[in-house]
Amino acid sequence: MRKWMLNIHLYGGLLCAPYLIIFGFSSLHFNHHFAFVTSKSQPLNWEAPLRVESVKDNDAFAESVRDSLGLMGWPLPWKTRRDAAGDLEFDLERPGKSYTIHTELKDHQARVEERRKGFWQVFNSLHALGAVPNSKFVLLWGGYTEVCTGFVLFAALSGIYLWLNSKRERVAGAVALIAAVAGSLALMFFVFRWG
């Protein structure tokens, strides 16, 4: 039993190590907003043929433009507007890149301003990333998130089991565990009830 637990703890940990590091780093960034994470890149402008039928609903139209251009991401409804000629301008957001897209229905063209995000922004966006519209590959990351969440629960329980089975640091570990569990639960209850 101990060997079985240890092997899953060890090899599961190796499989989830990058996720833990990403999760730890991105959580720190959420609390401290590191300046180096935000990158400023030169926008890239390009045009592409557009074969879509105009529809009345702005959100549905933006999605069909995105699909026609072969892009992935979420159109932002609060950054979508239509002009008198029926052309649409909207922002499209995804980890790694953001776009401003302007349709020119008369010429069957789309003008796209593409902005790249830097490495750290992409690294940070992997924090619990589940799915991105039009990307099957990112779904794998959602699956990896599930595996790693399950592993963290297992690692916590198996870690306690392995420590209890070991003869080292029994007293110091027990004091640390009891004090930390009691303190953490008390803090959570205090914040919830009287915070």
Partner 1 sequence: MGLNMYHFIRRIHLFTGLLLLVFVLMYFLSGYVMIHGKWFVEREPKVSVRTETLNFLVDPSDASLAGRLQATFGLRGQSSSPEHKSDGSTRFNFVRPGTTFQAVITPGSGEITITRKDFGFRGVANGFHRLRGYHGGWIYVLWSCLYDLASVALILFGITGVVLWYQSTARHLPGWACLVASFGFTAAMICYLMWTK
Binding residues for partner 1 (CB under 8 A): 10-11, 13-25, 27-28, 30-31, 70-72, 94-97, 116-117, 119, 122-123, 125-126, 128, 130, 137-138, 140-141, 144-145, 149, 152-153, 155-156, 159-160, 163, 169, 172-173, 176-177, 180-181, 184-185, 187-188, 190-192, 194-195
Strands 44-49 and 88-94: unpaired
Toward partner 1, which CB reaches closer, 61 or 141?
141
d(CA 29, CA 32): 5
Min dist CB 105 to partner 1, Å, is 22
Cα 50 to Cα 108: distance, rounded to the nearest angstrom: 5
| Residue 152 Cβ vs partner 1, minimum distance, rounded to whole Å | 5
Q: How far is CA 12 from the centre of its chain?
A: 21
Q: How far is the CB of 1 from partner 1 (least distance, A)?
A: 18
| CB-nearer residue toward partner 1: 26 or 58 | 26
Task: Name which of 147, 113, 141, 146 is nearest 125 in CA terms.
Answer: 141
Q: How far apart are CA 184 and CA 78, in angstroms?
A: 40
